[in-house]
Amino acid sequence: MVNWFSTRSNEQAIADVTALFREHFGQDTPGNTGPGRSSAEPAGVWSAPGRVNLIGEHVDYAGGICLPFALSQRTYVAAALNHDGVYRVVSQFGAENTQAEIMHEEIAMDQVCPGYPDNWVGYVVGTVWAAGLEVPGLDIAIVSDVPVGAGLSSSAALECSVALAAADLAAGLAADPASDLTETSTDRTALMHAAIRAENEVVGASTGGLDQRIALFAEPGHALAIDFATDSTHQVPFQIADRGLAVLITNTNAPHSLADGQYASRRAVVDGVTADLGVDSLRYADNAEAESARWAEANTPEGVDAAAWQAVVGKRVRHIVSEISRTAEAIKQLQAGDMAGFGESMQASHASLRDDYEVSVAQLDVSVDVAMQHGALGARMTGGGFGGSSIALLPSEKVELAAEAIARAFAEAGFAEPEFAVALPGAGARREA
């Protein structure tokens, strides 16, 4: 039995988040009687997507090139202003007809700062704080079909849906002639940087910005080529259904965290070597892998064998340089319609992430290997790694068989039951109602 993601229709998700808002913030809610509380109805509903990164992993923070696309699975936010100087946030993560966890937090606006709150609500209130949006308070309800911990960017979907909601509400306030507030920009680039800052400074997850950019700038039927060295983007057609292909996502349900030090430790190596070589990105360095030995020697951790550490640093650098080059070539392959070549690039990317960057785990490797055995043109882990999800580019008629085979392999290995979805390139953050 294959366990597929349960994804609500857009209409159902809007109805569900509106109902959650009414339940917790409506005028008939016990204790909701003061003049500062929000009305029975939200001022609007906004949403932002999860994402899959086709190729270009762990290079966004290294001046690299990435190729993500937005999922049809989204996070929905219903919001309204209050005048109490507080954020009231209620969230329900989990698809309809499942046992979904309800979480409720209330935080004074003036308490939000770097390092606080450092839990899930930090993604919400930290984004509003980082954007400098002038609001008197917010009541926010959240529902999401983006799996948490799957490496599909549930955090950026949350940040960007809230950012767009808060910006719209702040702009509405500013447009009121009776208001003393200055007009607030709803520029998506500014909101993107605010979401990144919230994740880095408030929550403490050292991420590079890929996820927030695709969440805000995605277009249906396209992947987004992002060059972080030049801060440039361009849309790449990714209408694989027209070629009889599909992307199968396997959520391994293996433990996944970007805030546990593993991600940060690798970034520290990359940042350190880059600074030592005096370049903006390792892609611009001559023989970066060999030259990394000097930095490694000067920064060997206490109690670690120097030669072994030098080898580790060299592998980390090799992944960054090779992945950036590989992604540039993969974009050309897609543009030329060379799907077989693109699949080979996916395979090489996974091998590099597994062997050089060492961010894969057994569940990811099994899902990739089994997908290749069942007709995939290419397959690789996606996201930060250490758990999360893999993707496979498959002929459409082989998707079901591949999912069944992966599920069997997981059961035989004693792994947690995986979840599957067929990924469709969707739209970026938007107002829904």
Tens of pLDDT, residues 67-90: 999 998 999 999 999 999 999 999
Q: Strand pairing partners for 48?
A: 75
Q: Which positions are annotated as active-site residues?
A: 211
Read off the pLDDT band of 95 (50, 70, 90).
very low
Q: Are 428 and 215 in contact (CB under 8 A)?
A: yes
What does DSSP assign to residue 419? E
Residues of 211-222 as b/e, b for ≥16 C-beta within 10 angstroms?
bbbbbbbbbebb
What does DSSP assign to residue 49? E
Element (H, E) at 87: strand 86-93
Q: Is the pLDDT of residue 60 over 50?
A: yes
Sheet holding 419-423, edge to edge: 378-382, 389-395, 245-251, 419-423
Query: What is residue 207's predicted lDDT score, i.e. its pLDDT?
Result: 74
Give the number of C-alpha atoms closer than 13 A to the C-alpha of residue 112, restricted to the C-beta side: 30
pLDDT in tens, 262-317: 878 899 999 999 999 999 999 999 999 999 999 999 999 999 999 999 999 999 99
The torsion region of residue 221 among left (phi > 0), alpha (psi -120 to 50) and beta comes to left
Mean model confidence pLDDT for the chain: 90
Query: Whole-angstrom Cα distance, residue 267 to residue 271?
Result: 6
Query: Whole-angstrom Cα distance, residue 333 to residue 245?
Result: 15
What does DSSP assign to residue 279? -
Q: Are 334 and 342 in contact (CB under 8 A)?
A: yes
Q: Is the pLDDT of residue 41 over 50?
A: yes
pLDDT in tens, 288-302: 999 999 999 999 999
In this prediction, residues 46-56 reach a mean pLDDT of: 96
Q: Are 382 and 151 in contact (CB under 8 A)?
A: yes
Query: Whole-angstrom Cα distance, residue 140 to residue 8?
Result: 20
Q: Are 381 and 360 in contact (CB under 8 A)?
A: yes
Query: Whole-angstrom Cα distance, residue 414 to residue 397?
Result: 28
Query: What is residue 210's predicted lDDT score, i.e. its pLDDT?
Result: 87
Model's pTM, two decimal places?
0.87
Which residues are CB-contacts of 170 (< 8 A; sequence separation ≥ 6)?
133, 134, 135, 181, 184
Q: Are 64 and 284 in contact (CB under 8 A)?
A: no
The SS3 call for residue 302 is coil
Query: What is residue 186's predicted lDDT score, i.e. its pLDDT?
Result: 58
Residue 246 phi/psi, 5° resolution?
Answer: -150, 155
Residue among 45, 10, 13, 25 at smallest CA distance from 431: 45
Query: Whole-angstrom Cα distance, residue 374 to residue 391?
Result: 13
**Is the model more confident about 275 or about 97?**
275
Q: How far apart are the first and last CA of the chain?
A: 37
Query: What is residue 102's predicted lDDT score, i.e. its pLDDT?
Result: 80
For residue 430, give both structure tokens: 């938007």
In this prediction, residues 232-260 reach a mean pLDDT of: 86
**Is the model more confident about 100 or about 132?**
132
Angle between helices 210-217 and 154-174 (to 10 degrees): 60
**Is the model more confident about 383 or about 400?**
400
Domain annotation for the chain: domains and CATH numbers: 10-229 (3.30.230.10), 239-423 (3.30.70.890)
